[in-house]
Structure 1
């Protein structure tokens, strides 16, 4: 598949590394190609301006800081009919400190779907740190990765990509279930960064 990664920081770079050698055509969407030259060389990815990278991609991955996401997504143009992965958690400053800025009545995933009404948005890859996205082979069990979206075909396509990253993909339901997945992602963040567990772990679904 042709996979465009919009946002080439820790998360976008980790996804690119995790998909390297898996038979996909990777395109890094970057306004400044010079800043992603090393990542492109490491992963064999092409580099293009974000809107060009997203055009005709089988999957467009949004790996942007939440505060910059709306403007960046709108600059991508019309993605009607395309599969778009939202791996962003809507984290910002709240009355209780840094946390989710959306929750019970909407979610980041639903907001992204509103920005891109014709796209097939799938919420996933928000439930673990970048290190695990880049490399899952050292884990004793395949880590689980839930996904939420309104289109079954888009979720099947994204599920194949998740399998290539080494995840067990589980369907959580429609895009409103991003209201479950984003707080779930915060559980990982709390354990990894606040409770001393560190970053080198993931959730797994272990059956009897």
Structure 2
């Protein structure tokens, strides 16, 4: 599968390298793609501009600061029929008014806002609630030893694709349902940054439903 990485830092860079090792075609992007060549060459991936990565990917991983989302939407335009994996979390101290407005608006989840910026995309929330060091060090496990990655989305087919991508790199998808269920693993929520094995994560979920 072709995966475009928008934001190739701790989360995006780590996931992109894992997916390339798992056999997917990956393009890393940033404002300075030439700085990504060393990382990309290690795993046989490509580099490009943000616009090139958006055009390249069947799946787009959005791993940029939350406050940058509106500007990015204007920059790259439509992502019609592409799967958009939203990794971003709203932190007002970093992301300013964009984050604060979303947090204050009880009618909208953090990922619901991101989805509204890319209305043609099939948005799936995942990987926002796991520490990047865990992504680095505990990938490619099997069975009950896998760390849970929470996932939710309104498009069932898109969500199944993302769940397979989670499994491809040795994590266990924990399907919470539709996009509104993202509130369970946003910052300060019960499942946020727990980094639990799948059985432990399912036990915790059963206690908070």
Q: What TM-score results when the alignment is normalised by the length of structure 1?
A: 0.82
Say which SS state the counterpart of residue 55 (structure 1) adopts.
Answer: helix
Residue equivalent to 1:43: 43
- Note the aligned Cα RMSD (angstroms): 2.5
- 1:80-119 equivalences under 5 Å are 80-93=80-93, 102=103, 104-119=106-121
User: Does 1:173 pair with 2:174?
Assistant: no
Q: CA deviation at 1:39?
A: 1.4
Query: What is the CA distance between 1:117 and its match in structure 2?
Result: 0.8
Question: Is contact 1:62–1:85 with CA below 8 Å preserved after alignment?
Answer: yes
Q: What's 2:163 paired with?
A: 159
Q: Aligned residue for 2:134? A: 132
| Matched residue, 2:12 | 12
Asked whether the 8 Å contact 1:121–1:149 carries over to 2, the reply is: yes
Q: Distance in 1 between matches of 2:183 and 2:139?
A: 29
- SS of 2:103's partner is coil
Moved more, 163-172 or 131-140: 131-140
In the alignment, which residue of structure 2 is the partner of 1:197? Answer: none
**Kept after mapping to 2: 8 A contact 1:135/1:165:** no
CA contact (8 A) 2:130 2:192 kept: no
Deviation at 1:20, TM superposition (A): 2.9
- Distance in 2 separating the partners of 1:62 and 1:185: 23
Distance 1:17 1:43 in 2: 6
With over 3 angstroms needed to count, the CA separation of the structure-2 counterparts of 1:135 and 1:185, relative to structure 1, is farther
**Contact 1:109 / 1:178 at 8 angstroms: preserved in 2?**
yes
CA contact (8 A) 1:149 1:173 kept: yes
Q: Which has the higher helix share?
A: 2
Alpha-carbon offset, residue 73 of structure 1: 3.1
Cα distance in 2 for residues equivalent to 1:3 and 1:162? 13
CA deviation map 1:75-127 (0-9, x unaligned) = 12211111000011111239xxxx97627432220011100111100000011
> In the TM superposition, what is the alpha-carbon distance from 1:186 to its structure 2 partner?
7.8
Deviations 1:146-203 (A, max 9, x none): 1111100000110110001211112211111122221348842xx7xxxxxxxxxx21
Shift of 1:137: 4.4
Q: CA deviation at 1:138?
A: 8.1
Aligned to 1:34: 34
Gaps of 5+ in 1: 192-201
